[in-house]
């Protein structure tokens, strides 16, 4: 499942009004005043008011790159990544030397799944930002998103040498270990994070998923319960918790979370997998197999999918299909599939 830490703060706020004031004409002076007031409101978390003021600054001076960048930050904070991306792009078009705007554009591009754009920007910035924790964090996330955990580990570790107290970076490093199937190191990293911040929801969820990979389903349930308490509507957490409930024998409560997840996102592959596990536990094997096959066809990376396909086929009396699934899961590093495949 996707257990990447999401709450990654990339952008730093630019305050460059004095440059505009030096130009002397009335529009630029007024634009600088709007810009400075926008900075003030942004720092007070009055984001919509800040955005209005940056827009006023842009209307006065249409080539005000810093105002576009800062308005982009407002859009990003409000969850409108498309508009944020467009403003960062405009800032870069107006000033190709604007490194912070390029970092912000790279971050927005990554969030939107525009990996090539993100990569190009990171390559442009790599030399100048080689010792920047902010840059290393972003490039590490890019490596995670493009399934290169080894490079992600290297960047997150370098970032932590610069900023050792960053819990988001530690969480992402733990996830990189997770992707390498290095579950013990992942577990230690997540435990370290929650020892410093016990309600860090993403670290709690990640730790739960790690315990699941280690086959410690009781521990997994403890931490998914804590994660979902912090963010009850986060679908990743709902799916993690539902599976833990199923594996701990609580099908009734699991069904409630599965229903919640499917209402939020009817085609979510992890929610569908969980719904099939529930059917399997209710001895509805044909229905379970149909759903498992649908998930496997479009999302073969879904965790434990081959183990569950194998168990459903096994229950249906189809030993060859069960063994085929277990062997596939074993090749992908699923310990439970590997154990089952040894009997094939």
pLDDT of 191 higher than 70: yes
Q: At what angle do helices 285-298 and 305-315 cross, to 10 degrees?
A: 150
Rounded to whole angstroms, how far apart are CA atoms 16 and 35?
8
Q: Where are the alpha helices (DSSP H) in 250-304?
A: 251-264, 269-281, 285-298
pLDDT of 96 higher than 80: yes
Q: What is the mean pLDDT of residues 240-264?
A: 98
Rounded to whole angstroms, how far apart are CA atoms 264 and 272?
12
- pLDDT at position 42 is 93
pLDDT of 344 higher than 80: yes
pLDDT of 238 higher than 90: yes
Write the burial class of residue 283 (CB in 10 Å: 0-12 exposed, 13-18 middle, 19+ buried): exposed
φ, ψ dihedrals at 318, nearest 5°: -100, 80
- Mapped onto helix, strand or coil, the DSSP state of residue 96 is coil
- pLDDT at position 24 is 52
pLDDT of 201 higher than 90: yes
Q: Which among 329, 277, 275 is positioned nearest to 303, based on CA atoms?
A: 329
- pLDDT at position 25 is 77
- pLDDT at position 160 is 98
DSSP 8-state secondary structure symbol assigned to residue 79: T
User: C-alpha angle 268/137/143, rounded to 5°?
Assistant: 55
How many beta carbons lie within 10 A of that of residue 225, not counting itself?
Answer: 15
pLDDT band (50, 70, 90) for residue 114: very high
- Cβ pair 51, 75 in contact under 8 A: yes
The CA–CA distances, whole Å, from 271 to 89, 256, 320 equal 36, 11, 27
φ, ψ dihedrals at 256, nearest 5°: -65, -40
- pLDDT at position 221 is 98
Taking only the tens place, the pLDDT of each residue in 278-336 is 999 999 999 999 999 999 999 999 999 999 999 999 999 999 999 999 999 999 999 99
Taking only the tens place, the pLDDT of each residue in 19-50 is 444 445 778 889 999 999 999 999 999 999 99
pLDDT of 251 higher than 50: yes
pLDDT band (50, 70, 90) for residue 12: very low
pLDDT band (50, 70, 90) for residue 17: very low
Share of the chain above pLDDT 70, in %: 93
Question: Which residues does 93 contact at the CB level (< 8 Å), separation at least 6?
Answer: none
- pLDDT at position 16 is 43
Rounded to whole angstroms, how far apart are CA atoms 268 and 133?
34
Query: Residue 117 belongs to what H/E stretch?
Result: helix 115-125
Rounded to whole angstroms, how far apart are CA atoms 32 and 20?
6
Give this prediction's pTM: 0.89
- Cβ pair 187, 211 in contact under 8 A: yes
Q: What is the mean pLDDT of residues 155-177?
A: 97
């Amino acid at each position: 499942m996707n257990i990447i830490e999401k709450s990654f703060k990339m952008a730093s706020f630019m305050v460059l009004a004095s440059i505009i004031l030096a130009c002397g004409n009335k529009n630029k002076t007024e634009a600088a005043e709007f810009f400075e007031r926008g900075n003030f409101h942004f720092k007070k978390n009055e984001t919509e008011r800040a955005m209005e003021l940056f827009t006023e600054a842009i209307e006065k001076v249409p080539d005000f790159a810093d105002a576009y960048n800062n308005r982009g930050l407002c859009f990003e904070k409000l969850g409108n990544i498309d508009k944020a991306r467009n403003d960062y792009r405009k800032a870069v078009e107006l000033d190709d030397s604007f490194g912070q705007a390029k970092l912000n554009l790279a971050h927005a591009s990554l969030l939107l799944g525009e990996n090539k754009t993100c990569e190009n920007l990171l390559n442009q910035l790599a030399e100048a930002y080689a010792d920047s924790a902010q840059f290393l964090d972003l490039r590490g996330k890019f490596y995670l998103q493009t399934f290169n955990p080894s490079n992600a580990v290297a960047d997150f570790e370098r970032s932590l040498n610069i900023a050792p107290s960053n819990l988001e970076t530690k969480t992402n490093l733990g996830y990189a270990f997770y992707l390498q199937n290095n579950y013990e190191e992942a577990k230690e990293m997540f435990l370290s994070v929650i020892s410093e911040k016990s309600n860090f929801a993403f670290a709690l969820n990640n730790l739960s998923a790690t315990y699941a990979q280690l086959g410690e389903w009781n521990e997994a349930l403890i931490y998914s319960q804590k994660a979902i308490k912090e963010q009850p509507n986060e679908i990743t957490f709902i799916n993690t918790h539902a599976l833990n409930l199923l594996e701990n024998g609580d099908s009734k409560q699991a069904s409630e979370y599965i229903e919640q997840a499917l209402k939020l996102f009817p085609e979510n592959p992890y929610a569908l997998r969980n719904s099939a596990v529930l059917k399997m536990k209710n001895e509805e094997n044909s229905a379970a197999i149909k759903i498992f096959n649908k998930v496997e066809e479009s999302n073969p990376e879904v965790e434990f999918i081959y183990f569950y396909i194998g168990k459903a086929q096994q229950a249906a009396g189809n030993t060859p299909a069960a063994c085929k699934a277990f062997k596939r899961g074993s090749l992908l590093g699923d310990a439970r599939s590997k154990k089952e495949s040894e009997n094939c």
